[in-house]
Amino acid sequence: MTNPILSDWTTPFEIAPFADISDDDFAPALDQAMQAHNAQIDTIAENPQPPTFANTVEALEAAGEQLDKVLSVFFTIAGADSNAKREELQRAFSPKLSAHFSGISSNKALFQRVADLWDQRDELELSDEQTRVLMLTHRGFVRAGAALQGDDDARMQDIKSRLASLGTSFTQNLLADERDWYMDLSEDDLQGLPDFVTDAARSAGQEKGADGAIVTLSRSLIVPFLQFSPRRDLREKAYRAWAARGANGGETDNRAIAAEILALRQERAKLLGYESFAEYKLETEMARSPDRVHDLLMQVWGPAKSRADADAALLTQMMQDDGINGPLEAWDWRYYAEKRRKAEHDLDEAVLKPYLQLDRMIDASFACANRLFGLEFAPLDVPLYHSDCRAWEVTRNGRHVAVFIGDYFARSSKRSGAWCSAMRAQAKFPKEQGPVVINVCNFAKGDPALLSYDDARTLFHEFGHALHQMLSNVTYESISGTSVARDFVELPSQLYEHWLEVPEVLAEFATHAETGEPMPQEMLDKVLKAANFDQGFQTVEYVASALVDLAFHEGDAPPDPMAKQTEVLAEIGMPQAIGMRHATPHFAHVFAGDGYSSGYYSYMWSEVMDADAFAAFEEAGGAFDPERAKALEDNILSTGGSREAEDLYLAFRGRLPGVEALLKGRGLIAA
């Protein structure tokens, strides 16, 4: 019987046949797909004909189709709907996959063919896109250690295998801590909480099989609890549990794992001839060097800390007015900031939330994409991996563009955070294929589901990533969609957040869940005026995390990452009442894999550009200016990694921005 993962998918638009796939299918499918991929690689490497772009680089691009299918399905559900079996499989797959891809990158015969082509590139008459793919292929082999010999080569393979296993363990430990902890709430404990928080707490209790309402470590529940609960003792208990994820001792403790990961990364960089892992990692990014990253972060840190210190003084006074002496603590900040927002802006999140229905915000994100890029979205009735998921066909001028899947609700089987991935990337070689793109979020369920303003911003952010995938228009999958520099990849997502704040968008789509009435103009004005509220706090918690990440990777690996974290925070004068957005034991961006390691700064690097890029629309015909929208698609959204990121931005804007646009956008300096 054919394994359903490896069979021809006859589903609409060749979406994975989730209904036919069981957990028992994954291991044999992976083994078979890796075996097939290895055979393809051997054929390319051992080809007796001289290397050509077609028989080597394009052959590599075409290889591994079965493996792509297995991995796209497995890692989608492993992240968004895990269970004990899938976690076991993930632990088993990590070293196998590391060995598989290491075997390819260390294949000397294969690398020699690529190197020969690179040396002959000026005589090959390649297109610009082909030249780019050749350069990236050659660079990828070199940076993976293909030029290493003997013991160094063997050690590199061991390091990569161990890092893959450690990253999986880090992720699963964090998921276990988030899944297993919760705090029971009595009816008295619910006093003072708005209905949307109590409803979410009761829904969480039902999912856990608890007797009543609970608080979990899901951001969509714990943050509003910290904002609204008048019970300081409960806020402290919840916050301490949230901050302690990955650092509770026992089998799920991530501190030793983080130390080993940092040591192995530094050893890997040294084997490749770099002074530090940060130098290795940043070489291919827009920033290029740790010094440029540090300079950007410190330019922002000063104004952000000044604002946060001033805000802390005001919140401390509010707390003391409540009869509480002593310093403002991390479990107090959100509570008093929410009270201050209500007082200063007359904006109550409990009153605002009914205007931010999930379905209406999805409609808003689609409508903006329609006005900007002509995209249309029609619901699809197809089996997906979880009943919470929904799918749409994306078309333009009647032609199929993509399939978009949304998985929006928090659940204990889903890792925290929000992300976008392509289950199938856009490409024209070896055959034309439209992308299948998924957004995964962690919003609280409700009837209807209501979002905070931050939730709505997250929805637009992830959909910006989705547009980068859906509008991709390149030949080769290796440079498709979001296959760009890490400090450029957040530009489309952060830029798209700006459309949520366009008054006409909120006026049309921010409608009350019960009455259907649009958000009153007075409230709309308050929402937009308060958009930069508490930016001192938000910027400080982010920049602190980015600076710690950079410090971890700039020199020799710290033997005790927690001590290094403390040292960095002391050096920059971290305010006592603000915690890092991601402390080391739960810093999945940095330790679950290499993606954002030494690169968490990239959100801010991209924000420097996104503030400037949206200004380009405002300077032209407004948020929906058709010429600017076309320039954005032509130069950034459709081009993937076909050119250097800096060149793409210059083509769109004509210049590179300074940090002032970001500081003004966050309200940290006068506009």
The residue ranges of every structural domain in the chain are 12-147, 181-245, 251-347+535-600, 354-529+603-665
pLDDT for 1 beyond 80: no
CA-wise closest residue to 214 among 234, 236, 192, 244: 234
| Phi, psi for 234 (deg, rounded to 5) | -75, -35
pLDDT digits (tens, 9 = 90+) for 533-566: 999 999 999 999 999 999 999 999 999 999 999 9
Architecture of domain 354-529+603-665: Orthogonal Bundle (1.10)
Among 85-89, 415-419, 464-468, 582-586, which is the least confidently predicted range? 415-419
Question: Which positions ≥6 away from 428 have C-beta within 8 Å?
Answer: 474, 475, 476
Confidence of residue 671 (pLDDT cuts 50, 70, 90): low
pLDDT tens-place string over residues 436-449: 999 999 999 988 99
Nearest residue to 157 via CA among 111, 95, 100, 102: 102
**Long-range contacts (CB closer than 8 Å, 24 or more residues apart) made by 188-195:** 189/213, 189/229, 189/231, 189/234, 191/230, 192/228, 192/229, 192/230, 192/231, 193/225, 193/228, 193/229, 194/224, 194/228, 194/349, 194/350, 194/353, 195/350
What is the architecture of the domain spanning 12-147?
Up-down Bundle (1.20)
- Average pLDDT score over the chain: 96
What would the pLDDT profile of 455-497 be if each residue is shown by its tens digit? Answer: 999 999 999 999 999 999 999 999 999 999 999 999 999 999 9
Its sign, for the CA torsion 638, 639, 641, 645, is negative
Q: Are 459 and 603 in contact (CB under 8 A)?
A: no
Domains 12-147 and 354-529+603-665 fall in the same CATH topology: no
Percent of the chain with pLDDT over 90: 96
How high is the pLDDT of residue 406?
A: 98
Whether 298 shows a pLDDT value over 80: the answer reads yes
Residues in the chain: 671
pLDDT, position 288: 95
Any bridge partners for residue 184, and if so which? 214
Residue 539 to residue 541: CA distance in whole angstroms: 6
pLDDT tens per residue across span 246-264: 999 999 999 999 999 999 9
Write the CA distances from 89 to 2, 84, 169, 222, 243, integer angstroms.
20, 9, 12, 30, 28
Parallel/antiparallel/unpaired status of strands 399-409 and 436-443: parallel
Higher pLDDT, 300 or 670: 300
pLDDT digits 0-9 by tens, 331-381: 999 999 999 999 999 988 889 999 999 999 999 999 999 999 999 999 999
Q: Please measure the distance between the N-terminal and C-terminal CA atoms of the chain and give it in whole angstroms.
A: 66
Spell out a b/e string for 587-620, using b for 16 or more CB atoms within 10 Å of the CB, else e: bbbbbbbbebbbbbbbbbbbbbbbbbbbbbbeee
Q: Which fold has domain 251-347+535-600?
A: Neurolysin; domain 3 (1.10.1370)
Task: Encode burial over 378-403: b for 16+ CB neighbours within 10 A, e otherwise.
Answer: eebebebbeebbbbbbbebeeeebbb
CA distance 632 to 620: 13
> What's the CA gap between 603 and 501, in Å, rounded?
19
Q: Tell me, what's the pLDDT at 567?
A: 98
Q: In this model, does residue 83 exceed pLDDT 90?
A: yes
Q: Is the pLDDT of residue 66 over 70?
A: yes
Contact 582, 589 (CB under 8 A): yes
Q: What are the tens digits of pLDDT across the range 95-126? A: 999 999 999 999 999 999 999 999 999 999 99
Check residue 531 and give its pLDDT. Answer: 86
Q: Tell me the mean pLDDT in the region 171-178.
A: 96
pLDDT over 70, % of the chain: 100
- What is d(CA 320, CA 495) in angstroms, rounded to the nearest whole number? 40
Is pLDDT above 90 for 619?
A: yes
Whether the bond between 230 and the residue before it is cis, its omega within 30 degrees of 0, is no
- Alpha-helix runs per DSSP H in 346-484: 349-352, 358-373, 453-470
Active-site positions?
Answer: 462
